[in-house]
Structure 1
Amino acid sequence: MNKEQPLMMRIVILGLSVSENSLVGNFILGRAELDSEAPPDVAERVAGRLKDRHVIIINSPQLLQTNISDHQITQTVRECVHLSDPGPHVIVLLLKHEPCSAEDQECVEKVLLSFSERVYQHTMVLSTREPTETNDILQKIIQKCANRHFSLQTSSSPHDLLQTFEDIEKMNDGRHQDCAEEGVKLNLVVCGSDETLKSSISEQILQ
């Protein structure tokens, strides 16, 4: 297996607002490439260079909103997967400054597991301000991401963030997240009063 870092790095940024997602994406790229006034339901894909790496950023600023429907989550995750084909190396959770609620945690888990059951191996938490108080739920999310948390400060450098990205790559032997590896699980219930017929139909389905 080739464990060298891939030349191209694909990064998906999941967040709550267009302005903050654009801020982080533009910080990584070192230029104003992402539109801070773009519609929140549109996933953007931009390319650039960070240090000696070619970078593709997929920006999805609405996926962590707690009022988003399951259908919207499914459609937007599919779009992110398509735009990061064959899969992202890093997924960035851009979480809000305020204390996270149980509802926020549920939303984060639902979104991430829509990518893959192994998604936490490729995920980190990023905040644009230092939290003013300790939040247990935020800490639980960070712990699930192997304690990878980057706080974006005025003194921060894109190269500092790149190091975190490359640490994630190294932990995964340079492999990207395979979002199709889990397959689609389908649960069926066969109803009826004829047990023999139900058994026969079930056997046909499972073949």
Structure 2
Amino acid sequence: PSMSADDTSLRIIVFGNSGLHQYSLTESILQRAIFKFVDYHTALTTKTLGQYLTRNVTLVNTPNFNSPDISHNTLKKELRKAVCFSCPGPHAVIFMLDLLDVPSTTYDIFKPVVQHFGEKILNHTMIVLYHEKEGDCQSLVDSVRRNQDFRELLEMCGQRYLVFGGKANRKDGSAARELLDQIDQMVSEHGIYSNQEFEDADKRIKKEEKFIEKERKKEIRKMLEALEKKHSGEDLAREMKCYEEKIQFQNRERAEVQVADRLGFTLRLVDYAVAIGKGTFVGALLGTAMGIVGTTVGAAVGAVLGGVFGGAAREAWQYFSNAFTYFHRDST
């Protein structure tokens, strides 16, 4: 997709090997303290909205990919959350490295992103070398550029990289301006990144928004009636517009989180079913007997039976219960 001339908003996903500097980068761009009480070692995917020079900017921070505490399943779930939080697709992907601690296996850290999204994601990726030092860092940059693994990744990303000094940026904002300028240039060349996963997630989110809107219909009507009693004329129009925008924003946020959780659940269910051949077979039989919706529910039942065979009855039953709720909603 291409960027509309009237839409100057930006959606950016941040990956990296340093949780602390990832969040520092987000705060530097949005020019405010956001993650004061965040545990950088355990933080999962977060979405932060703000403005930079009148532009609406959404930054999606993912977990520290270099952390030994992140399991393969957790990583996949967090990547899907990043998809939901940046639909219909990111304008840019930032791979952030600590300038003072660039590992020799740079590409290995970013490899799960490429494996998940495909090699085309590299056309939308920029490497950011973040630091909090004062003064000239050219010798450090030269040292990083001698890293063979870094050079190869840089080549894959079209030689796009930026040295981002956090302290200097807090004084004059120059690094953030340069970063957004380079992102705009990248978007003008390659457009906005998207694929089938983003398109499917966006459709699910929009559908979920409608469910949430219906659930809140009574609440919204009461609030609008209260505004009509309190305001009139232009004041009423302004207050109603603000409230409607607020509700729309809240509904979108809730829909994104719910769909992200649902996709994460579906992923666990699929992984669970793949591990148990007997359950898959039984699920297929049940699906055939129960029809289209039953196919999905049948797969869940198959996972249950397979889980029983594998000694995980309680967890499998929970999966089945969740599956029935989720797929019943998706089928309506």
Displacement after TM superposition at 1:94 (Å): 0.7
| Percent identity for Structure 1 against Structure 2 | 20
Residues 107 and 49 of structure 1: CA distance in aligned 2, closer, same or farther (over 3 Å) = same
Distance 1:179 1:35 in 2: 36
CA–CA separation in structure 2 for the residues paired with 1:141 and 1:71: 25
Is the partner of 1:49 in helix, strand or coil?
strand
* Structure-2 separation of matches of 1:128 and 1:147: 17
Specify which of 165, 177, 184 is matched with residue 183 of structure 2.
165
Once residues 10 and 57 of structure 1 are traced to their aligned partners in structure 2, the CA distance between those partners, rounded to angstroms, is: 6
Asked whether the equivalents of residues 81 and 179 of structure 1 are also in contact (C-alpha less than 8 Å), the reply is no
Once the two structures are TM-superposed, the CA of residue 37 in structure 1 deviates from its matched residue by 2.6
Indicate the structure with greater strand content.
Answer: 1
Q: 1: distance between equivalents of 2:156 and 2:69?
A: 23
| Stretches of structure 2 lacking an aligned partner (at least 5 in a row) | 132-136, 201-273, 275-332
The code of the aligned residue for 2:11 comes to: R
Aligned-partner residue type, residue 62 of structure 1: N
Contact kept in structure 2, 1:21 and 1:59, CA below 8 Å? yes
2:305 aligned partner: none
Compared CA separation, residues 172 and 161, structure 1 to 2 (3 A): same
Deviation at 1:112, TM superposition (A): 2.8
Please identify, of 36-45 and 112-121, the stretch whose mean Cα deviation from structure 2 is larger: 36-45
Tell me the amino acid that sits aligned with residue 8 of structure 1.
Answer: S
1:190-201 paired onto structure 2 within 5 Å: none
- Does 2:147 correspond to 1:144? no
Q: What's the CA shift for 1:14? A: 0.9
Give 2:117's aligned residue.
115
- After superposing on structure 2, the runs of 4+ consecutive aligned residues of structure 1 that deviate more than 4 Å are none
Q: Structure 1's 179 and 9: CA in aligned 2 closer, same or farther, altered over 3 A? A: farther
Q: Where do 1:127-142 residues align within 5 Å? A: 127-129=129-131, 130=137, 131=140, 133=143, 134-142=146-154
2:194 maps to which of 177, 184, 190:
177
CA contact (8 A) 1:22 1:35 kept: no
| CA displacement 1:52-84 (0-9 Å, x = unmatched) | 421001111323446643222211100100111
**In the TM superposition, what is the alpha-carbon distance from 1:172 to its structure 2 partner?**
1.6
The verdict on how the C-alpha distance between 1:163 and 1:138 changes in structure 2, with shifts beyond 3 A counting, is same
Structure 2 residue corresponding to 1:90, chosen from 89, 92, 115:
92
Hey, what does 2:310 align to over in structure 1? Answer: none
* Structure 1 residue 88, shift from structure 2 partner: 1.2
Instruction: Provide the secondary structure at the position in 2 that maps to 1:118.
Output: helix
Structure 1 residue matching 2:64: 3-state secondary structure: coil
CA shift, 1:151, in A, is: 0.4
TM-aligned CA deviation for residue 179 of structure 1: 6.0
Q: Counterparts in 2 of 1:38-49, with a 5 A limit?
A: 38=39, 40-49=42-51
* Alignment RMSD: 3.0
Contact 2:121 2:193 in 1 (8 A): no
How many angstroms apart in 2 are the aligned matches of 1:165 and 1:48?
17
Structure with greater Cα Rg:
2
Cα deviations by residue, 1:65-109 (Å, 9 ceiling, x for unpaired): 46643222211100100111122111110113334223x422312
State the AA in 1 paired with 2:59: I
Gaps of 5+ in 1: 189-207
CA distance in 2, matches of 1:84, 1:181: 8
For 2:223, the equivalent position in structure 1 comes to none
Distance 1:148 1:100 in 2: 18
Q: Cα distance 1:35–1:92, how it changes in 2: closer, same or farther (>3 A)?
A: farther
Distance in 2 between residues matched to 1:46 and 1:116, nearest whole Å: 25
C-alpha separation between the residues in 2 aligned to 1:35 and 1:13?
Answer: 18
User: Residue type of the partner of 1:160?
Assistant: E
Q: Which structure dedicates a bigger proportion of its chain to helix? A: 2
Change in Cα spacing, 1:126 to 1:3, as seen in structure 2 (3 Å) is closer
For residues 88 and 110 of structure 2, the distance between their equivalents in structure 1, rounded to whole angstroms, comes to: 22
- Under a length normalisation based on structure 2, what TM-score does the superposition of the two structures give? 0.49
Q: 2:68 & 2:196 partners in 1: Cα distance?
A: 22
SS at match of 1:91: strand
